[in-house]
Amino acid sequence: MHQHTRTDPYSDRYAARAAGMVASEIRALFAVASRPEVVSLAGGMPYVAALPLDIVGDMLGDLTQRRGAEALQYASAQGDPDLRARICDVMAMEGVQGSPDDVIVTVGSQQALDLLTRIFVDPGDVVLAEAPSYVGALGTFAMYQADVVQVALDEHGLDPAALRETLETLRRDGRRVKFLYTIPTFQNPAGVTLTASRRAEILAVCASYGVLVIEDNPYGLLGFDGEPMRALRADDPDNVIYLGSFSKTFAPGFRIGWALAPHAVRAKLVLAAESAILSHSSFSQFAVREYLTTQPWMEQIKSFREMYRDRRDTMLDALAATMPEGTSWTRPAGGFFVWLTLPEGLDSKAMAPRAIANRVAYVPGTGFYAGGHGRRHMRLSYCYPEPDRIREGVRRLATVIEREIELRDTFGTSSAPERPGVHTPGPDTA
């Protein structure tokens, strides 16, 4: 079969870092998955329709009329001081004591990741991440030509013994390790949470090897039981850089995230941000600040939590009721995602087109590994579809998996070749 490739006339002019930039294979899948007849368990979009849009609209109109001359003007590169103060109040709920002066407001926490990688990572430097880890972070690390080494996690989160072993090996090999990137709470994609005792161990291991920790915590306030977990940053201000976001607790449409970093690092981040975007949207910052100041935002988070817990329950019940033997999955205590493991010999990536044909979409596990692993896994999200759709989606998925098992039993397993490269996330996979 002849494959027609469109030639890029600029191909000999790109920088080395651009050579590996290829669109994720799951991108084409997503275009199809967005058809209304497909139940998408793939996206990571929060359910913003649950916000009181009338009230938010009045708030934004009023804000523009009262303070438009500032809200429509350039902002500072570090971000609005009042918003940074409110951000410190939010982090205090997880035990974090931070100064507004050590906060930088970013275009989602994705930009914080980009800026941190920019200031810390030379090509070939090692970055540690969980196996599996957030697809968008892996894409950023690859963009800066980092060598991503992933460390196993289990139902209690990242494994401290595996981390120590990996660091020891890297030290023996003389490798330069720049930081550990971790999502300790309601992990994306695995849906697991690092236990309190492991938190202490992870911090101790990283400190002893002189490795910075980047703690990405977009879901921390979306726990389904009890109080928020204590953040890693709360117990090691000098060695942990904390990333947060209002995308899941308020709305992603303003793209307000942040980093809390030791003072010298924060100063570098501001210079890098100026070079990257000059300043973030003043209007977005005013909008979130106004929301936090005038609206019952903690009540809204409580209501989001209840809605997502209900959807999580729906998904877990549906999985238990329909999944064939040999399939297993995690039981998230918060956040958006369930991580599902297929019966032996099945391949989530090869199966994806057949799932779409059966009108259900998920993200194949391979997206969450730098090296092409993850074929037996998939990420299922329950954040966006309503409960009836979740039930129907899981039912369809179970049917697809059953057919795959039949195929496997009849013809044996097949595996497609891996295609490494920089996989950038769609917003859908955030």
Among 77, 259, 390, 401, binds its own copies (CB under 8 A): 77
In the complex, least distance from residue 301 CB atom to its own copies, rounded to whole angstroms: 15
In the complex, least distance from residue 197 CB atom to its own copies, rounded to whole angstroms: 28
131-150 residues in contact with its own copies (CB under 8 A) are 136, 139-140, 143-144
The helix (H) or strand (E) run that includes residue 60 is helix 53-71
Does residue 212 bind its own copies (CB under 8 A)?
yes
> Which stretch, 65-73, 85-93, 159-167, 363-371, contacts its own copies (CB under 8 A)?
65-73
Residue 304 to residue 301: CA distance in whole angstroms: 5
Contact 129, 298 (CB under 8 A): no
Does residue 71 bind its own copies (CB under 8 A)?
yes
147-206 residues in contact with its own copies (CB under 8 A) are 178
In the complex, least distance from residue 240 CB atom to its own copies, rounded to whole angstroms: 13
267-286 residues in contact with its own copies (CB under 8 A) are 267-268, 271-272, 274-284
Q: What is the 3-state secondary structure (H, E, C) of 19-52?
A: HCEECCHHHHHHHHHCCCCCEECCCCCCCHHHCC
Cβ-based neighbour number of residue 319 at 10 Å? 20
Contact 134, 183 (CB under 8 A): yes
In the complex, least distance from residue 83 CB atom to its own copies, rounded to whole angstroms: 14
Q: Which pairing describes strands 360-361 and 39-40: parallel, antiparallel, or unpaired?
A: parallel
Residue 400 to residue 380: CA distance in whole angstroms: 15
309-368 residues in contact with its own copies (CB under 8 A) are none
In the complex, least distance from residue 28 CB atom to its own copies, rounded to whole angstroms: 14
Among 75, 213, 232, 356, binds its own copies (CB under 8 A): 75
Cβ-based neighbour number of residue 10 at 10 Å? 8
Contact 368, 374 (CB under 8 A): yes
12-31 residues in contact with its own copies (CB under 8 A) are 13-18, 21-23
In the complex, least distance from residue 48 CB atom to its own copies, rounded to whole angstroms: 5
In the numeric block, the tokens 């549906």 are attached to 318
